Chain A
């Protein structure tokens, strides 16, 4: 059965064109689906189990989508709620939804899909040989698992289908693949499986597959041989090039996409323009495979304090690398002497902004900067030790001379104090997949009814 999916934007929190959204609703979609997450900003969100977007922005955009859902009378699904899709961010999104339901006077059934994983489940899978590293993967032993602050599994289409089967008006899903929330309904209704996953991949970033990426809203029609995609914003267009080029985006392999329960191959896909702004795609193939879900985990890598100074004296700018090498050696000695810390028990990294701070050893150009930023990053086993090292190095980052026999220089500190305590620094600790017998065995559904206030 043909299925029409409205995708308001690539992620909740980055905005969409409200006129385009209204136009999309007028096309009577069968479901509205939006992604809420990404690993793209780094491990902090998953490490802390918090959203990277402001609550006020999330709330205001979600309010618009809840009104659109009420008007369309179809389910609204968000995947990877709250950036990382932990249980805590699902609850955060649920709280916002309940508030808005009261405000809007909506009577709702809400299904929450939880994706957080207890370390014990992964430990069991690891010892049973059901946890497999992808390339490249961090080393993993059972002892590493309880160290992780949050672990999530990426749900696919089946778990979203289970959530929809509860009769939910709104599905708030924890970590899901970007595509699973869009592919779920077309797959359930028997549309072409290759088209369901391919169309989901094309639409998952919203209007990024069109000529006007920031307009957000995209409409996808799935059927039994292919899919058609069209942007909802005035003046935006989907062309065979804009659509097919989207397979390149943030994809290591532009032809193969692994999902729970199989993989998509778009090598033989053909992209046909239907008029100036709509594209039809056929020929993508879904290959079923044993059911595996991808895992993500984050752990504390240490606690950081940073310090920032600016060199403007031409002699120091010219000799900055010598200066930083000498300063670093001096500081290692001083930290060992004053604090009794060996070199291996903390890290002090300096980056020269204006020289090679961005690319480091890969940088192959030199310019003639008039000033250089000196960013010091201290990583230690506790916030107290990191802060103490920051205080200790502060006067030397301010005054350290190039030569022993010169008057003490003073560099520019942009604020007081020059050091900033950054708290815990997190790192990604898993790039693995887990075998599953039943798609729901690592996920949990909760359903609640909200009465109008």
Chain B
């Protein structure tokens, strides 16, 4: 077992406007991309962020060796319940996710 963040170049999250957040997994090369794309279960990612699986948009982008997830922000940016104005900390959850080999 290893963590996703140890397999890839970078996992980054950021607001996509006040109502969405997007997480980019930069795999680095096509081989690692194929491995990560096949190994990441969308349902597990949805559970990590406590989202309905249908609410997650997933993009597998071979040309960039990137897997991208976008979903509505769990709380709207800057609302009373918001804890992370720029949405940058959410990436850590995915980076720390254990990947089966």
Contacts and interface: CB of A to CB of B under 8 A. Distances in A.
A254 to B, nearest CB: 6
Nearest to A429: B76
A349 interface: yes
Contacts of A358: 83-84, 89
A44 B15 CA distance: 16
A351 B96 CA distance: 22
Contact of A301 (B15, B16, B79): B79
A41 B85 contact: yes
Interface stretch (A144-152, A420-428, A445-453): A420-428
Interface in B52-78: 57, 59, 61, 63-64, 66, 68, 70, 72, 74, 76-78
Contact of A245 (B49, B66, B70, B72): B66
B72 A136 contact: yes
Contacts of B78: 42-44, 426-428
Interface residues of A, number: 42
B55 to A, nearest CB: 9
A407 interface: no
A250 B85 contact: no
Contacts of A349: 80-81
Contacts of B63: 244
B101 interface: no
A360 B76 contact: no
B30 interface: no
A137 B76 CA distance: 10
Interface residues of B, number: 39
B76 to A, nearest CB: 6
A252 interface: yes
A251 B64 CA distance: 15
B68 to A, nearest CB: 6
A351 B83 contact: yes
Given A136-B72, A252-B16, A428 B77 contact: yes
Nearest to B69: A252
B32 interface: no
A241 B76 contact: no
B58 to A, nearest CB: 11
Given A136-B19, A359-B89, A248 B79 contact: no
Contacts of A431: 17-19
A39 B68 contact: no
A361 B76 contact: no
A365 B17 CA distance: 28
Contact of B90 (A137, A248, A359, A379): A359
A253 B69 CA distance: 9
Contact of B93 (A245, A364, A377, A428): A364
Given A253-B57, A253-B70, A359-B93, A347 B17 contact: no
30 contacts: A39-B15, A40-B85, A41-B85, A42-B77, A135-B72, A136-B19, A241-B64, A245-B26, A245-B66, A248-B64, A248-B66, A249-B14, A250-B22, A251-B22, A252-B17, A253-B57, A253-B70, A255-B59, A301-B79, A301-B80, A359-B84, A359-B93, A360-B83, A362-B74, A364-B48, A379-B80, A428-B18, A428-B19, A428-B77, A431-B17
Given A248-B22, A251-B16, A254-B61, 11 more contacts: A40-B15, A41-B85, A41-B86, A42-B18, A44-B78, A248-B66, A249-B14, A301-B79, A359-B90, A364-B48, A428-B19
